[in-house]
Amino acid sequence: MGQSHGHRSEWTFLTSHARVLIAISRDPGVRLREVALSCNITERTVHTIVADLEEAGYLTRTRAADGRRNHYAIVPGVLFRHPAEAGHEIAGLLNLLAQPHNTAESTG
């Protein structure tokens, strides 16, 4: 069976919501502008996603000690929303993907 190399839409495994949550778990004091750049989405979209995640109980937002920035915290024990992942905590995904990857430990 041959592979078709025709025009295909680009897609990824993770949603923008997952990417934003991962970025925040890496740096709870990150500026949303930086999250937008790392996730390749607009800052406005990041603000909307953060509001979604906060409303759904995945993260909390408080004012940082300097009074100028926000500090985010992932709520422990929260579960995936989709029935296919029901009963699984998002902590597993965050533990897997939120750690900076080490390019020296590549598999070959």
**pLDDT recorded at residue 64:** 80
Does 24 fall in a domain? yes
- In the chain, DSSP finds a helix count (H) and a strand count (E) of 4, 2
Structural domain harbouring 55: 16-100
pLDDT of residue 104: 45
Task: Tell whether 20 is covered by a domain.
Answer: yes
**Mean per-residue pLDDT of the chain:** 88
Q: Is residue 10 part of a domain?
A: no
Contact assessment for residue 38 and residue 70, using Cβ atoms and an 8 Å cutoff: no
Q: Is the pTM of this model over 0.75?
A: yes
Residue (of 20, 53, 25, 52) closest to 38 by Cα position: 20
Contacts by 55-64 with C-beta closer than 8 Å and gap 24+?
56/81, 58/21, 58/90, 59/21, 59/24, 64/29
User: How confident is the model at residue 8, as a pLDDT?
Assistant: 77
Q: Mean per-residue pLDDT for 73-95?
A: 93
Query: What are the tens digits of pLDDT across the range 40-58?
Result: 999 999 999 999 999 999 9
Beta pairing partners, 47: none
